[in-house]
Amino acid sequence: MAIHAHATAKYVRTSAQKAGLVLDLIRGRDVNTALATLKFARKAVARDIEKVLRSAIANAQQKDGFGGDVERLMVKACYADQGPSQKRIRPAPMGRAFRVVKRTAHLTVEVTERPEKVSAAGGAAPKRARGAKPKSRGAAGTSAKKTGGRTAKASA
């Protein structure tokens, strides 16, 4: 059974939209790649996300039944929820006042163990490469071949 663990940092002083941009970079990756990505991300919120990810990894290691191999952990889900906003007033010209909204976010990272690779038993046919077309089984001379913008009959 796969181990699931999560960690949450609440009231982080950034907007959920800005944090979501960085979280999109690590979603679905293994934890070592995600940590390397966060280390070199040029966003300030990446440091906070890195702390949350390390906490989630530590939580997974403390669970009963954890195999001990951190290499098998991957980021299952990560998201930023909107936290409470602080409203402040900034003086404006002619006696007016502008409102400044200081946003916060709740960052959550969930990690899980990658499932074991199950090898195919016996004589299973090898999978074709992604994007490769299946071999055609049509009779010679009956299939039309595209050339340029027009179609031409293949010569027999």
Per-residue pLDDT of 13-52, as tens digits, reads: 999 999 999 999 999 999 999 999 999 999 999 999 999 9
pTM for this prediction: 0.72
Architecture of domain 4-113: Alpha-Beta Complex (3.90)
CA dihedral 56, 34, 105, 11 (to 10 degrees): 40
Q: Please tell me the number of Cα atoms within 13 Å of 79 on its side-chain side.
A: 5
56 class by beta-carbon count within 10 Å (0-12 exposed, 13-18 middle, 19+ buried): buried
Per-residue pLDDT of 45-94, as tens digits, reads: 999 999 999 999 999 999 888 878 888 999 999 999 999 999 999 999 99
Structural domain boundaries of the chain?
4-113
Task: Kindly give the pairing relationship between strand 105-113 and strand 97-102.
Answer: unpaired
Q: Please tell me the number of Cα atoms within 13 Å of 44 on its side-chain side.
A: 4
